[in-house]
Structure 1
Amino acid sequence: MKGAGLAGIAGLAGCVGTGDPGSGDGSDGGDGSDGGDGSDGSDGSDDSGNTAMASEINVWGWDVAARALQITAEEYEAENDATVAVEEFGRSAMKDRLQTNLLSGSGAPAVSMLESVDGPSFIATDSVAPLTDEIEEASVQEDFVSGKWEALTVDGDIYALPWDTGPTAVYYRRSVYDEHDIDPSSIETWADLIEEGQKLPDDQYMLNLPEGDLSGVWRYQFRQLSGEPFLDSGEVNIHNEKSLKVAQNIKEIYDADIAANIEGWTSAWFSAYGDATIASLPSAAWMEGTLRAELPDTAGDWGVYKIPALESGGPRASNWGGSNLMIANQVSEEKKQRGWDYMEWSLATEEMQLAMYDEYGLFPALETVYDEPVFDEELDFYDGQAARALFAEVAQNAPGYRFTADTPEVSQAMETELQRMINGEQSPEEAVQAAAETVGENTDRDLA
C-alpha cells in the first residue's frame, strides 16, 4: 500500500542510470572520475576559500537498496546542480570490490553502502572517512534509533550515517495458522511456538532452521537478551548464561522436529514459503520487500507478530541486519562534501526515507518518521494489519550490539559448534564453551 503523498516520489525508481559494476574500468574511481584527486567532477573552492562541492559523485549499492538510492538521487539532482550516479551490484560482488578498492587506495566511490556487521572491519582499515563533525553540525544523531550507532562508532568517532534497520518479527501465513487453529496472539515464548508447531502435519513445518545460518539465529536471539560478544575490556563473552539460553532454545526447536532444514535464499527456500510448506519466518522488516517481490501471489496471506521471548515476560525486540552510507577517505574533499550533502538528503530527510520504505520496504532507522500516519495504515499485504507500527515499536526497543573486526570469528565459531550440537555431538553448554575458546585462540583474546 502506498504511503500518503509518496506515490509520485516512489514512481521515480529506476530513473537514474546505473553504470556497469562489472566493467572494472576505473570509471568509478582511481583515474580521477570519482577518485581521490578531485580532478574531474570537482568545483575546487568557492570565493570565500571554503571547499566547494563536486558536481558529480558515484554511489554504490546492491539490489533493491541501490534502486532505492536511485529514487533519492533523482530527487537530489532535481534540487541541486549535481549528478549522482548510482551503480547497482550484487551484494557479495559489491562488498568484494569495495574492500579491494578501499585497501588499494583508488577506485572507490564517494558514497557506498555499509552493512552494520561490516562497520568495524572496514573502519579498521583507515579507509573510511569520519563523519562526526558533519553529524554534530547537522544535529541529526538523536533523530535515529539509538541501537544503530554502536556499530558505526570507533574511539568516539562516527564513520557512517544510518539508513535502514532490521527490527525483528515472525512473518506467518494466515491461512495455515487458521487451518490448524494456531493463534499468533497466544505465542509469547519460544516454548509456546514449539507447542503450537506440533499442530502442523508431518509434511509442514512451523519454521526453517537451516544449516549455514545457525549463527545468524543465535546472534539475533543473543542480542534480544542484550548480549554482547565481547566485554568493554575486550574479553570473549559468548559462553555466558545468555548465550547458553539461546543455544538451548535452538536445540529445543530442532529436537521438537518443527523446523525444516532448507538453505536460505535458494529456489527451494522460496518455494517452501510460497506453497506454505513452512508456515512461519522469523526475520526482519526488510523481508517484506523480498516477499512482495519474490512471492507476489502470497500477498494478503501474511501477518506478523513479535519474536517470542526466551522466557516468560522476557524481551521480544531485536534487530537483524541493517545498512548505512559511508564516504571513502580516498576521494577529494569536494566529493566528500557532495557525498555528505547527498547522504544527509537521503537518510536524514523524512520524505526520502519514507519514499524508499514505501517502494522497497527498507525500514527507516530515522525514528522521527514513526509518528507519520503511514505507520498506522492497514496494509493489504498483511490482510489489513498495521504491521509498520509493530516494526516501529520493535525498532525503538531493540538493544544495540557491539560488532568488531573479530565478529566474523564469532560467527564462524558459533556456526561450527551449534551445528555439532544439533548433530548430537555435544551439549549446549559444551557448544558455547567451545566456541568461546576458539574465538579466544583465533583472536588472542582472553575469555571473560
Structure 2
Amino acid sequence: MTDSADPSVRRRQFVQALGLAGAAGAAGCISTGGSTDGGSGGTNTGGGGSGTAMASDANGWAWNIAARALANAAETYNEKKGANVSVEEMGGNTWEQRFQTAITSGSGAPDFSAIQNYDVTAFGSKNGLMDLTDRIDEAGVREDIVKGKWETVSVDGKDYALPWDIGPTGVFYKRDRYEEAGIDPTSLKTWDDFIEAGKQLPDGVAMVNIPTQEVPQMWRMLFRQLGGQPFTKDGAVNIHSEESVRAVQLIKDMHDAGITKRIEMWSGGWFTAFSEGTLASIPTAAWMDGTLRAELPDTSGNWGVYKLPAFEKGGTRASNRGGSNMAIPAQISDKGVVNRAWDYIEYAMTTPEVQNTMLQEYGLFPSLTTAYESDIYDEELDFYGGQPVFRLFAEVAREIEPYRYTTDTPEVQDAINTEVGNVLSGKKSPKKAVKDAAQTVADRSGRDVA
C-alpha cells in the first residue's frame, strides 16, 4: 500500500470535529449498510465472532488496488459462504474525505473499510471505529501477525482494526546501472557504503531520489529503522531524539554527496528516470513491486532488491513504510451486518492463500506470518533477474519494530517536512531542525516535549 503524504489539515479538522460531536453521536447511529431486521439481504446463521445470525449483505470501502484485492477475495468468500459481500473502489483522497465525513456525522459509513495505519489512531481514539479486541482474541490470530504491526491498530490497549498489509523495506535497484558502475549490492552493508557507491555512478545518474513531498516518509523509514518513537509512552513529543538527528543527518549526507535527485514522486518524469536509468535505486517498501511491474514492464529482468543498509556495521536493516488494516465503523448498529463484515474480514485477512493471492496479483505484502510458509516466497522472479525477493521481504517483516502513531502524527509529518527542508537549504543543522520540529508539534498539539 502506498505510503503517501498524510493529508494533515483535513485529518486535524476531522479529529476536532469528532471531539465536538462526542462519542455517543458517533456510536449511536444506524449504518446505511443494513437495517435492524438483519440487513438488506436478510439473515443466515454462521460464525461472525459469537455465532449469532449474520446478514447476507455487507458493503465495504477501499482505495485503488486495495479495493481490487478485497473485491477479488469477496468473490471467493461469497461462493464459499453464500453471501453478498461487495467492495466499492475509490481514489485514496476520495476515500479519506468520504470516510471522515461519515464518521464525523455519525451516518453513512460502510459496513467495513480498509484503513491506513495512521488513520486508526485518529478514528479509533474518538470512538469512530468499533473495538474489535474480543473478536480478534476469539479468532486466535495474534501470534500469526507480525509483532511490529499490532501497535498500529491499538489505542489505549484496545484493537480497532485487524492488521492487513505491511511495508517491509528494501532498496530496489537497476542492475545495469550498478553493474556498469562496478557496484556490488551485496557489499552495501551500511549507509556510508551506499553513499560511496553512489559517487561511482556517472554524471546524470543519481543513486536516490528525495523529492520534497517524500522527505517525511524517508525520515520516518530511517527513524523507525533506528527504533525511534515519535512520542513517548506518556504522549510527549520525541522527534528531537538522537535517532531523529541521525536520520536527518543521513538525508543531508546523501544530498551533500551529490548522489540525489529531487523529482516529484509518481510523476511521468519519475517513471521515465527509472526507465532510462537516470535514477539507479529507490529505498522503499515491498509494495513498490506492484507499481514497477505495472508501470515499467519493459524493465523486467533489470531489477534487484537488497536490504536497507544499516547505520553501522551489524546494525538493523529492517524498517517499514506504509501499510493498512481492516476496520468496522462504530456506527454500524445491526449486529447481523457487523457479524457478516467481521466474518469476511477474518477470512480475507487470516487465510494464507487469500493473502498470497493479494501479494502475487496486487503487490500487497501480508503481515500474516503463516502466509510466509508458501513456496511462492522462494520463487525466482523473472522481473528481478531470478531473485526470490518475497523471501527477502518476509525476513525483513519479522524484524520490524513497533511504531507509535497518535492523532498528532500528521503534525509530525508537517514539521519534519519543513525542518528537513531547512537542513537541505543550509539554514539549520539536523540537531537544531529536529529540536525546532519537536517544539512546533508540541505547540500545535498541546503536548510536552520529552
Q: TM-score, normalised by structure 1?
A: 0.90
Structure 1's 110 and 178: CA in aligned 2 closer, same or farther, altered over 3 A? same
Match of 1:351, SS state, is helix
Contact 1:36 1:106 in 2 (8 A): no
Q: What is the rounded CA distance, in whole Å, between the counterparts of 1:251 and 1:209 in structure 2? A: 10
Deviation of the 1:33 alpha carbon:
4.8
In the alignment, which of 353, 358, 361 is matched to residue 359 of structure 1? 361
Contact 1:169 1:305 in 2 (8 A): yes
Match of 1:212, SS state, is helix
Deviation of the 1:351 alpha carbon:
1.1
Match of 2:421, SS state, is helix
Contact 1:43 1:52 in 2 (8 A): no
Q: Quote the residue 2:377 is aligned against.
A: 375
Q: Quote the residue 2:65 is aligned against.
A: 64
Deviation of the 1:312 alpha carbon:
2.1
1:306 paired with 2:307, answer: yes
Q: Which amino acid aligns with 1:408?
A: P
Cα-to-partner distance string for 1:203-242 (whole Å, 9 max, x where unaligned): 1100101112211111011000111011111111111111
Deviation of the 1:37 alpha carbon:
4.6
1:324 paired with 2:331, answer: no
Q: Quote the residue 2:33 is aligned against.
A: 34
Q: Which amino acid aligns with 1:223?
A: R
Q: Quote the residue 2:446 is aligned against.
A: 444
Q: Quote the residue 1:256 is aligned against.
A: 257
1:405 paired with 2:407, answer: yes
Contact 1:221 1:318 in 2 (8 A): yes
Q: What is the rounded CA distance, in whole Å, between the counterparts of 2:37 and 2:353 in structure 1? A: 31
Q: What is the rounded CA distance, in whole Å, between the counterparts of 2:76 and 2:195 in structure 1? A: 48
Please provide the CA RMSD for this pair: 1.7
Contact 1:35 1:107 in 2 (8 A): no
Q: Quote the residue 2:267 is aligned against.
A: 266
1:197 paired with 2:198, answer: yes
Q: Quote the residue 1:119 is aligned against.
A: 120
Q: Quote the residue 2:22 is aligned against.
A: none
Q: Which amino acid aligns with 2:40?
A: G
Q: Quote the residue 1:233 is aligned against.
A: 234
Q: What is the rounded CA distance, in whole Å, between the counterparts of 2:321 and 2:226 in structure 1? A: 13
Structure 1's 46 and 178: CA in aligned 2 closer, same or farther, altered over 3 A? closer
Match of 1:53, SS state, is strand
Structure 1's 129 and 411: CA in aligned 2 closer, same or farther, altered over 3 A? same
1:386 paired with 2:388, answer: yes
Q: Quote the residue 1:420 is aligned against.
A: 422
Q: What is the rounded CA distance, in whole Å, between the counterparts of 1:354 and 1:41 in structure 2? A: 32
Deviation of the 1:43 alpha carbon:
3.5
Contact 1:32 1:38 in 2 (8 A): no
Q: What is the rounded CA distance, in whole Å, between the counterparts of 2:291 and 2:156 in structure 1? A: 36
Give every structure 1 segment of 4 or more consecutive aligned residues whose post-TM-superposition deviation is greater than 6 Å.
none
Q: What is the rounded CA distance, in whole Å, between the counterparts of 1:410 and 1:36 in structure 2? A: 41
Q: Quote the residue 1:145 is aligned against.
A: 146
Cα-to-partner distance string for 1:337-395 (whole Å, 9 max, x where unaligned): 00100001101011111111111111111011112211111111111001111000000
Q: Which amino acid aligns with 1:201?
A: P
Identity across the alignment (%): 49
Deviation of the 1:179 alpha carbon:
1.1
Deviation of the 1:267 alpha carbon:
1.3
Deviation of the 1:36 alpha carbon:
6.5
Structure 1's 301 and 45: CA in aligned 2 closer, same or farther, altered over 3 A? closer
Contact 2:44 2:56 in 1 (8 A): no
Match of 2:166, SS state, is coil
| Structure 1 spans left out of the alignment, 5+ residues | 1-29
Q: Which amino acid aligns with 2:381?
A: L
Match of 1:167, SS state, is strand
Match of 1:314, SS state, is coil
Match of 1:163, SS state, is strand
Q: What is the rounded CA distance, in whole Å, between the counterparts of 1:189 and 1:37 in structure 2? A: 59
Contact 1:32 1:39 in 2 (8 A): no
Q: Which amino acid aligns with 2:95?
A: M
335-344 or 124-133: bigger deviation: 124-133
Q: TM-score, normalised by structure 2?
A: 0.90
Match of 1:228, SS state, is coil
Residues 101-120 of structure 1 mapped to structure 2, 5 A cutoff: 101-120=102-121
Q: What is the rounded CA distance, in whole Å, between the counterparts of 1:423 and 1:76 in structure 2? A: 53
Q: What is the rounded CA distance, in whole Å, between the counterparts of 1:80 and 1:392 in structure 2? A: 31
Deviation of the 1:46 alpha carbon:
6.2
Q: What is the rounded CA distance, in whole Å, between the counterparts of 1:146 and 1:38 in structure 2? A: 39
Structure 1's 36 and 118: CA in aligned 2 closer, same or farther, altered over 3 A? farther
Contact 2:32 2:108 in 1 (8 A): no
In the alignment, which of 344, 347, 359 is matched to residue 345 of structure 1? 347
Deviation of the 1:32 alpha carbon:
5.9
Structure 1's 77 and 182: CA in aligned 2 closer, same or farther, altered over 3 A? same
Deviation of the 1:125 alpha carbon:
2.5
Q: What is the rounded CA distance, in whole Å, between the counterparts of 2:210 and 2:36 in structure 1? A: 49
Q: What is the rounded CA distance, in whole Å, between the counterparts of 2:241 and 2:419 in structure 1? A: 15
Structure 1's 36 and 169: CA in aligned 2 closer, same or farther, altered over 3 A? farther
Contact 2:181 2:202 in 1 (8 A): no
